[in-house]
Amino acid sequence: MTNARGYADRIIELERKRDYRGAYEILKEGLTIYPTQPFLLRTEVYLLLRLNKTKEARKKAEGRVEMLKNDPFFLKTYLSVLRQEKAHEDMGRLLTAILSWGVGDEDFLVFLVKTASKCVGREKGAEVLRQALARFPESESLKRLSADGESAEGGAGRFTFYRQKFAGKKTAEAVAEIEAIMVMPGYAGDYDLHLYLADLYKKMERYDQAVEIYRRLLALWDHDFIRKMLGYTYYKMGDKEQAAAYLKSVFIKRPDDHFLTRTIFRIFEEKRDCEGLEKLVAEALALRPEAKHLYGLLKKARRWQKNCATS
């Protein structure tokens, strides 16, 4: 009689050949003899997913979570099944459970952050990232995700999903439809849907409503991306003081963001605040001395000073 290891070797060999149907037949035979063998149990879910039997895969996974909750491969597979089913809320709940179990190494948590950001929403991505960094504070991979704002700005995310979904509609029609569904369960706290609605409000020049959404999102998650959106929107409204208030803190950390730098320059130029720009640039250079292009801003600020003194 073939032992459990023998079944595993035969299944792995067929998987390498992409013969998932053949591997599944061997697996079913193995499960009749070893019904509680962890490799066979997790691989059954994986093979059902590969065979596009997602409903069956989901049912199997749901019944095996307690037994396999410490198995990163099984958890990745389960998340992939839910992704195929577009069960975003269930993905969110599973991610929360996985974090509470303390499962996996650094690489597994990087996978969770990216999955949460792209499939559930940026807010969930940020939550997973915060907890991942609490477990691995020295992780360079997790630090890069945080520094690059990948969970907020990178990747396709659900923002792109909503943009594609409403692509064929007029802006006003899309706004009306989104406003109607925002009160429904599962959408009221949808970070990316709020972000997309704010973008539509700006296109309609309803800047005050866009600001309201950004301020709400900032209260939920204080992130540089939202601060930039608030600053740019206030600038569109002609409120230079509020624009500068939100953009300055981001500029100091990211002086290499050239669009941000140009906007900051225009704000201080229009305010004729030469001294304020000099102080801000000096603060940015103290943190990022390699940002040599800022010396050009200082030269322009000094020219303003001369013009202000002679006018």
Residues 75 and 5 occupy one common structural domain: yes
Residues 163 and 233 occupy one common structural domain: yes
With 60 as the cut, is the pLDDT of residue 23 above it? Answer: yes
Residues 6 or more apart whose Cβ sits within 8 Å of residue 99: 112, 128, 131
Q: 269 lies in a domain?
A: yes
User: What does the DSSP assignment read for 249-311?
Assistant: HHHHH-TT-HHHHHHHHHHHHHHT-HHHHHHHHHHHHHH-TT-TTHHHHHHHHHHHHHHHHH-
pLDDT in tens, 151-201: 444 444 567 777 788 888 899 999 999 999 888 876 777 778 888 899 999
Distance from C-alpha of 90 to C-alpha of 226, rounded to nearest angstrom: 26
**Rounded-to-10 torsion of CA 77, 81, 83, 87:** -130
Could you give the number of structural domains in the chain?
4
- CATH number reported for the structural domain that contains residue 187 in this entry: 1.25.40.10
Distance from C-alpha of 177 to C-alpha of 182, rounded to nearest angstrom: 9
Output the pLDDT for position 69: 93
Average pLDDT of the chain is 86
Domain hosting 311: range is 239-311
* pTM, two decimal places: 0.54
Output Rg (C-alpha) for the chain, integer angstroms: 26
Residues 6 or more apart whose Cβ sits within 8 Å of residue 190: 121, 158, 182
Residue 2 gets the label, from left (phi > 0), alpha (psi -120 to 50) or beta, of beta
**Which one of 237, 258, 279 terminates a domain?**
237
Q: 90 lies in a domain?
A: no
Output the pLDDT for position 104: 83
Q: 88 lies in a domain?
A: no
Residues 73 and 1 occupy one common structural domain: yes
With 70 as the cut, is the pLDDT of residue 126 above it? Answer: yes
With 60 as the cut, is the pLDDT of residue 304 above it? Answer: yes
Output the pLDDT for position 310: 56
Q: At what angle do helices 88-101 and 72-84 cross, to 10 degrees?
A: 170
Residue from 300, 301, 299, 281 nearest 291 by CA: 281
Q: 89 lies in a domain?
A: no
User: What does the DSSP assignment read for 83-143?
Assistant: HHTT-HHHHHHHHHHHHHHT-S-HHHHHHHHHHIIIII-HHHHHHHHHHHHHH-TT-HHHH
**Which one of 155, 180, 203 terminates a domain?**
155
Please check whether residue 161 is in contact with residue 132, taking contact to mean a CB–CB distance below 8 angstroms.
Answer: no
Neighbours of 165 (CB within 10 A): 14
Residues 6 or more apart whose Cβ sits within 8 Å of residue 13: none
Picking from 51-65, 69-83, 146-160, 233-247, which range would have the lowest pLDDT averaged per residue? 146-160
Distances (CA, A) of 252 to 17, 36, 275, 293: 53, 57, 16, 14
Output the pLDDT for position 131: 85
